């Protein structure tokens, strides 16, 4: 019975002490699939192929096997045993000598060996748990553990969805920046070609042409950097998807389609504690702790086990005689074992007190988590609203910078503006575009943070 109680307690302690981990996944050996992807397709691929999710799914399967393992404790336990013994020296028993010889003095003892040199025993034992309170609690705990592993799987999926979404947005922004930089470069190239003709015709000096050439070279360098950034962003996206880094992928969507989704509606929603996976995990942990308390209490209850044993025994003066099947004698035993705890040195009492205190800790954790979720939601919504307000400003700045750049080019061609003014106008346009893309990416990431805070990122 101690072994049964110990097994149940090990299950409970294991379940309560089980932490939800987030292992760092690698891309080695992962599924590969090249092609063009939308954000949702990237997410779907990651949910199917990311090693982190696969490990969480395996852990969920392990929890289901744990339920069956715990259930097996209450099923009949059957064991067989065969003993073959050679009694090298038969143990002696001391008996009064007058028991065999009436004429012997009554105070004389003689040693007698009871047994034979060879003896064998074969038996089959069946035991059945009839009542054990810890076993019944253990069954509930094992089933609750599957809920804990399922919430761990959900949390892993949420983390993967968040990482893939941010990586996709980063790649979109990098690609859009590259497109606009190339447009800027084409405009400067065209202006350079015009100025070169003017220089060849003596209408401008060499310094003006060289200054514009410097701008062209700087733009080429910037384009190279952004190309590397695009490649790095796609590499990060593939890593977060769980696919091989050598796989060629491209994005099927454009940035503007996501800019259109940046609305302030999400900033007015109230926090929903129950929708957060962390809250759900804490609820399951509390249920496990309540079961642990219940187990401590039922350890005071009696345990009842029924058993039956059927066997054969044989012996002989030599080994051959001991294994002669005709000389084996059968025996059978049927009974029950009732174990009644009476006094355990107050250990159970203090274990119960500890479990009650741990429940109080979990209740306090609920309050802390609720405050944390409320603050996280408010902070995410505030940051999202703030960055939304800057996007419109940056859009206006881009339009103004474009207009200034175009007007300056015209003035330069007509001789009313200097080359330096053109370079400054192009630099202002590039800065306005960079600020806009930075704000768009910040807004997209802030929107992800709001959805996660509200528990809407992945269901």
pLDDT, tens digit (0-9, with 9 covering 90-100), for 316-358? 777 776 667 667 888 899 999 888 888 888 888 898 999 999 9
Q: How many CB atoms lie within 10 A of CB 225?
A: 13
**Helix, coil or strand: residue 124:** strand
Residue 393 belongs to some domain of the structure: yes
**Helix, coil or strand: residue 77:** strand
Tokens describing residue 26:
């690698």
Q: How many domains does the chain have?
A: 2
Using one digit for the tens of pLDDT, what is the confidence trace for 18-27?
433 333 333 3
Q: Are residues 50 and 182 in the same domain?
A: yes
Q: Are residues 168 and 311 in the same domain?
A: no
Q: Are residues 363 and 410 in the same domain?
A: yes
Using one digit for the tens of pLDDT, what is the confidence trace for 395-454?
899 999 989 988 988 887 777 777 788 888 888 988 999 899 999 999 999 999 999 999
Are 287 and 144 contacting, i.e. CB atoms less than 8 angstroms apart?
Answer: yes
Torsion sign, CA atoms 174, 175, 180, 183: positive
DSSP 273: G
Q: Are residues 184 and 247 in the same domain?
A: yes
Q: In this model, does residue 360 exceed pLDDT 50?
A: yes
pLDDT (0 to 100) of residue 224: 94
Residue 270 belongs to some domain of the structure: yes
Q: How open is the CA angle 349-354-356, to the nearest 5 degrees? A: 95
Q: In this model, does residue 280 exceed pLDDT 90?
A: yes
How far is it, in rounded angstroms, from Cα 300 to Cα 382? 54
Q: Are residues 365 and 320 in the same domain?
A: no
Q: Are residues 395 and 309 in the same domain?
A: no
In angstroms, what CA-CA distances link 439 with 10, 173, 442?
A: 53, 10, 5
How far is it, in rounded angstroms, from Cα 176 to Cα 229? 11
Q: Are residues 239 and 229 in the same domain?
A: yes
Q: In this model, does residue 3 exceed pLDDT 60?
A: no
Q: In this model, does residue 109 exceed pLDDT 70?
A: yes
Q: Which domain holds residue 370?
A: 2-74+132-302+344-453
Q: In this model, does residue 30 exceed pLDDT 50?
A: no
pLDDT (0 to 100) of residue 380: 92
Question: Rounded to 5 degrees, what are φ and ψ at 335?
Answer: -170, 180
* CA contacts within 13 A on the Cβ side of 314: 16
Q: In this model, does residue 312 exceed pLDDT 90?
A: no
Strands 303-316 and 118-131: antiparallel
Element (H, E) at 122: strand 118-131
How buried is 296 (Cβ within 10 angstroms: 0-12 exposed, 13-18 middle, 19+ buried)?
Answer: buried
How far is it, in rounded angstroms, from Cα 174 to Cα 253? 13
Q: In this model, does residue 251 exceed pLDDT 90?
A: yes
Torsion sign, CA atoms 405, 410, 411, 417: positive
Using one digit for the tens of pLDDT, what is the confidence trace for 195-241?
888 878 877 778 878 888 888 899 999 999 999 999 999 999 999 99
How far is it, in rounded angstroms, from Cα 156 to Cα 150? 10
Q: Are residues 289 and 311 in the same domain?
A: no
pLDDT, average across residues 83-89 = 82
Residue 438 belongs to some domain of the structure: yes
pLDDT (0 to 100) of residue 326: 66
Q: In this model, does residue 361 exceed pLDDT 60?
A: yes
Supply the mean pLDDT for the chain. Answer: 85
The whole-model pTM stands at 0.79
Q: Are residues 51 and 107 in the same domain?
A: no
Q: Are residues 97 and 205 in the same domain?
A: no
Q: Are residues 260 and 307 in the same domain?
A: no
pLDDT (0 to 100) of residue 321: 63
């Amino acid at each position: 019975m101690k072994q049964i109680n110990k097994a149940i307690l090990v299950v409970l302690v294991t379940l309560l002490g089980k932490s939800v981990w987030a292992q760092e996944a690698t891309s080695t050996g992962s599924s590969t699939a090249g092609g063009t992807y939308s954000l949702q397709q990237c997410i779907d691929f990651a949910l199917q192929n990311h090693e982190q999710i696969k490990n969480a799914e395996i852990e969920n399967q392990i929890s289901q096997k744990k339920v069956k393992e715990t259930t097996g404790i209450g099923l009949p336990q059957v064991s067989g045993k065969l003993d073959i013994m050679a009694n090298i020296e038969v143990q002696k028993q001391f008996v009064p000598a007058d028991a065999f010889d009436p004429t012997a003095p009554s105070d004389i003892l003689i040693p007698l060996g009871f047994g034979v040199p060879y003896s064998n025993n074969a038996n089959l034992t069946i035991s059945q748990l009839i009542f054990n309170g810890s076993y019944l609690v253990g069954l509930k705990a094992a089933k609750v553990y599957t809920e804990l592993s399922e919430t761990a799987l959900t949390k892993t999926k949420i983390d993967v969805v968040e990482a893939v979404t941010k990586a996709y947005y980063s790649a979109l922004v990098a690609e859009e920046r590259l497109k606009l930089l190339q447009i800027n470069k084409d405009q400067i190239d065209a202006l350079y070609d015009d100025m070169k003709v003017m220089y060849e015709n003596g209408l401008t000096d060499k310094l003006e042409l060289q200054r514009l050439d410097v701008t062209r070279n700087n733009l080429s360098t910037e384009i190279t950097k952004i190309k590397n950034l695009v490649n790095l962003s796609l590499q990060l996206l593939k890593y977060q998807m769980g696919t091989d880094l050598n796989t060629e992928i491209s994005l099927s969507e454009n940035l503007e389609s996501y800019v259109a989704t940046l609305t302030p509606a999400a900033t007015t929603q109230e926090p929903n504690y129950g929708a957060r996976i962390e809250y759900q995990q804490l609820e399951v942990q509390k249920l496990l702790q309540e079961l642990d308390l219940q187990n401590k209490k039922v350890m005071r209850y009696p345990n009842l086990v029924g058993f039956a044993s059927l066997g054969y025994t044989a012996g002989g003066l030599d080994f051959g005689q001991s294994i002669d099947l005709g000389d084996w004698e059968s025996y059978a035993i049927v009974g029950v074992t009732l174990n009644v705890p009476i006094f355990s040195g107050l250990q159970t009492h203090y274990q119960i007190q500890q479990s009650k205190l741990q429940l109080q800790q979990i209740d306090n954790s609920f309050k802390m988590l609720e405050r944390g979720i409320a603050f996280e939601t408010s902070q995410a919504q505030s940051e999202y609203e703030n960055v939304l307000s800057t996007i419109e400003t940056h859009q206006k700045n881009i339009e103004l910078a474009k207009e200034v750049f175009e007007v300056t080019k015209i003035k330069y061609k007509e001789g009313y503006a200097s080359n330096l003014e053109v370079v400054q106008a192009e630099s202002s346009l590039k800065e306005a575009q960079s600020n806009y893309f930075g704000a768009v990416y910040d807004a997209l990431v802030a929107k992800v943070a709001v959805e996660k805070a509200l528990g809407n990122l992945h269901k």
